[in-house]
Copies of this chain bind each other. A is one copy, B any other.
């Protein structure tokens, strides 16, 4: 396990600047840091990368002043910032493929260090579904678990409400000052007493539709397992369940009558091998052996000092010929990175560099399974 120490304020500002800059998502953030050996070096390399990637307009890099302002405003609202690798950063979230480099936490950050289980489900839940979610959340809370959910109407709200006293975590799709739905602002304030609200988005970020699936990876990523209570076909809860499966977390589904379409998703999960649960004991029996093991953290995180060249020294840049050969192969149809290497006869490093440049220039779309296309 890596040693986990606090960043200096300077370092924290750098992290925030990099993740808040244009076209930098968690994946690109980690690629850049790996490539340049540190956050500061990555920040310095951004303009050149964007230019070589063919960015239409200069890349907007989040300034030091903007970062300071965000920290100041957020802290005034009781929000703390934790970066990947810091002691307060939740250890399971650290293990997912694309962990948020920085999370903003309001409430009791200690709650994040306790064993977390997510409960999610339909917004238009049935009375029975709501009752079940309350019972499950209450029993898990009594058993010492903290309940994670998404503050949505229906199942999410029921799960939070029933675990206010024992601790519950709301993961937000927007900034801490943009609570959705607004009717749950008072629920959120209540849950901050023993629990916390978590967001990877900037202050003042209004959540849009595609921020919710992105947020869902944090709900599952924080948790040992995800319990789905009522979910129609193609619902957001099924996305959370899929992400949980991809992250190697337990997926639990509550059986329901096939005659109610709100159970189509949950029963479908059961058919795919989710663990059926009817009471908290089922969940506890499945996750207790997992909690016994310490999470298998990656062995090295961001170094505490900027040490360019130590982790991954930037290779000589691709030549103009290579760059042309690689970009010519790209188009709107997704191709695999392996094929790009083979067909371009460029080195894998050159291909990765060109892709990183295009990514930062906002011209690349990354699909699953190593597939990329031009935007």
Chain A residues within CB distance 8 Å of chain B:
128, 131-132, 254-259, 263-264, 266-267, 270-271, 275-276, 278-279, 282
What 8 A-B pairs have minimum CB-CB distances, sorted nearest first? A255-B255, A258-B278, A270-B276, A267-B278, A255-B267, A128-B259, A128-B257, A271-B276
Which B residues lie within 8 Å of A131 (CB)? 259
Tell me, rounded to whole Å, the shortest Cβ–Cβ distance linking A137 to chain B. Answer: 14
CA distance A20 to B12 in the complex (A): 87
Q: Which of chain B's residues have a CB closer than 8 A to the CB of A259?
A: 128, 131-132
Most chain B CB neighbours (cut-off 10 Å) among A131, A257, A271: A257
Task: Give Cα distance in the complex from A255 to B274, angstroms.
Answer: 13
Contacting residues, chain B, for A275 (C-beta < 8 A): 271
Residue of B nearest to A259 (CB): B128
Bound-complex Cα distance A128 to B259 (A): 7
Contact at A276–B282, with CB atoms within 8 Å? no
Q: Which of A132, A266, A270 has the most CB of B within 10 A?
A: A270
**Chain B residue nearest to A272 in the complex (CB):** B276
- Contacts known (A267-B276, A270-B270, A276-B270); A132 close to B255, Cβ less than 8 A: no
Other-chain contact of A258, B258, B267, B270, B279 (Cβ < 8 Å) = B279
What would 7 A/B residue contacts be, using CB atoms closer than 8 Å?
A128-B257, A132-B258, A255-B258, A256-B256, A256-B257, A258-B279, A271-B278
Minimum C-beta distance from A170 to chain B (A):
25
Q: Which residues of B contact A258 (CB under 8 A)?
A: 132, 254-255, 278-279
Q: In whole angstroms, how far apart are the Cα atoms of A200 and B267 in the complex?
A: 38
Shortest C-beta distance, A269 to chain B (Å), equals 9
* Smallest CB separation, A207 vs chain B (Å): 32
**How many angstroms from the CA of A165 to the CA of B50 in the assembled complex?**
71
Q: How far is the CB of A281 from chain B (nearest CB, A)?
A: 11
Q: Which residues of B contact A128 (CB under 8 A)?
A: 257, 259
Question: Measured between alpha carbons, how far is A254 from B264 in the docked complex, in Å?
Answer: 12
A238 to B132, CA, bound (A): 24
Give the chain B neighbours of A254 by CB distance below 8 A.
258
* Cβ–Cβ < 8 Å partners of A271 in chain B: 275-276, 278, 282
Which residue in chain B gives the minimum CB-CB distance to A268? B278
* CA–CA, A255 and B278, complex, Å: 11
Q: How far is the CA of A263 from the CA of B256 in the complex (A)?
A: 9
Instruction: Write the nearest CB–CB distance from A240 to chain B, whole angstroms.
Output: 19
**A255, B132: Cα distance in complex, Å:** 15
Within 8 Å CB of A276, what residues of B?
Answer: 255, 267, 270-271, 276
Contacts of A279 in B (CB 8 A): 258
A263 cross-chain contacts in B, Cβ below 8 A: 255
Across-interface contacts of A255 in B (CB, < 8 A):
255-258, 263, 266-267, 270, 276
Q: Give bound CA distance, A270 to B267, whole Å.
A: 11
How far apart sit A340 and B216, CA to CA, in the bound complex (Å)? 62
- A266 to chain B: which residues have CB within 8 Å? 255
A197 CB to closest chain B CB (Å) equals: 30
Residue of B nearest to A129 (CB): B257
Residue of B nearest to A127 (CB): B259
The complex places the Cα of A128 from the Cα of B263 at a distance, in Å, of: 14
CB distance from A363 to the nearest CB of B (A): 44
Q: For A264, what are the chain B residues with a Cβ–Cβ distance below 8 Å?
A: 278
Tell me the smallest distance from the CB of A118 to a CB of chain B, in Å.
18
| CB–CB A132/B278 < 8 A | no
Q: How far is the CA of A32 from the CA of B188 in the complex (A)?
A: 75
Cα-based distance from A256 to B258 in the complex (angstroms): 8
